[in-house]
Amino acid sequence: MSLFRLTFLGTSAAQPTIHRNLSGIAVKADTDLLLFDCGEGSQRQMIRFGTGFSVDAVFFTHFHADHYLGIIGFIRTLGMGGRTAPLVLHGPPPAKRLLRQAVHLGVDALPFQLDIVELQHGAAVRRQGYTVGAIRVDHRVSALAYVLQEDDRPGRFNVERARALFVREGPDFGRLQRGESVTATTGQIVRPSDVLAAPRRGRRIVISGDTRPCPTVIAAARDADLLIHESTFSDEEQARAEETRHSTAREAGRVAREAGARRLILTHLSSRYDPDPSKLLEQAKEEYSGPVEVAHDGMTVELPLRE
Ligand SMILES: [Zn+2]
Ligand SMILES: [Zn+2]
């Protein structure tokens, strides 16, 4: 897998503002297109920011209205567009009950198969070249964070070393790179570990969803390439953050620091920080010394491969 690109479709908490739509992140993982949450208005954001509609799977963090009502209209648009490919919607319970109601609103039958899968803490959905893991977080309702974990890539192939060991050039080079042993022209067995460097770690992205600072997120974000953490409030509303089971920007910064995440992006901002979220950024920076940004609608992030 080479491409890992995220597009923020919406970055506002609870209600949309002039500049910010409700929650949604589109992730392009090579040919796969995933959605994480689908707040009202997400489909128009997908048009604005050019993500395309060929979504392969949707993952809901939880079922507060600002995170999922957009699926109703989006499904209808896909139906009108003549989609035939199946679509899978994932989420914590009660995904089945709520999404079934949502997607069957209306009178038209859908022309494609739609499956709803409930995920529990620890579940992992296997995709081509990566997995999407679900972890429980601490919100007012049953809620999940998601961990996108790319498979490790084999270490670099040392051509000089292979030649020095008299490996036949051509197919035998490929076999070694795929993890098979081969017999050299000398009759000696050459193992992959003789000619391959240590495996290269796959990239990891953690999407917190709505949550209080949470040990499961800290564990999952350890050394992650990117932590996307909700940041609904600033210090002034610490009590409100605790009461509503959300995080402040400072707390998001602390989670990133404790996890040793390589990069932090804050999203899910209360409308009072639109259009100026600088206070959130400052407070997160007081806790976390790595690169930190506040997401905006249309913001695109491409993660480089790990060396
Ligand atoms: Zn929310
Ligand atoms: Zn919520």
From first to last of its 307 residues, what are the pLDDT tens digits of the chain? 788 999 999 999 999 999 999 999 999 999 999 999 999 999 999 999 999 999 999 999 999 999 999 999 999 999 999 999 999 999 999 999 999 998 888 777 889 999 999 999 999 999 999 999 999 999 999 999 999 999 998 888 999 999 999 999 999 999 998 889 999 999 999 999 999 998 889 999 999 999 999 999 999 999 999 999 999 999 999 999 999 999 999 999 999 999 999 999 999 999 999 889 999 999 999 999 999 999 999 999 999 988 7
Residue 66 among the catalytic residues: yes
Q: Is the pTM of this model over 0.85?
A: yes
Half-sphere exposure of 227 (CA within 13 A, CB side): 35
Nearest ligand to the C-alpha of residue 244?
2
Nearest ligand to the C-alpha of residue 64?
2
Set 32, 37, 66, 225: catalytic member? 66
Q: Ligand 2 mean position to 167 CA, how many Å? A: 58
